[in-house]
Amino acid sequence: MSNVFDLDGGQPPKPSVNFDLAKAEDLVCDNCGGHFFNVVFMFKKISALMSPSGKPTMAPIETFACIDCGTVAKELLPKALKNDGSQLI
């Protein structure tokens, strides 16, 4: 079974008996059109005021970057980070 990501941040859809992966649309890099991606991490700094421990900390966020040009696949970012304006890579 393949990994399926819900792009709206909810639960992944249940597999369908008639699901044909060959007919699914490929995700391509917005920058270069590449079809392959590596797992990468970005980090968010969490201030002591917002941290559950009361100490400054870092939160790793797993996402994907094009192996050809390094562009982060914004479509695969968590919903809360898609429009925050930060420089990703």
Q: Which helix (H) or strand (E) holds 50?
A: none
Q: pTM for this one?
A: 0.62
**Residue 19 and residue 1: Cα distance in Å, rounded?**
11
Structure-block tokens of residue 9:
């941040």
Structure confidence by residue, pLDDT tens digits, 37-83 = 999 999 999 999 998 899 999 999 999 999 999 999 888 888 888 76
12-24 burial by CB neighbour count: b if 16+ within 10 A, else e?
A: eeeeeeeeeeeee
Cα separation, 54 vs 67, in Å, equals 38
| Predicted local confidence at residue 80, as pLDDT | 80
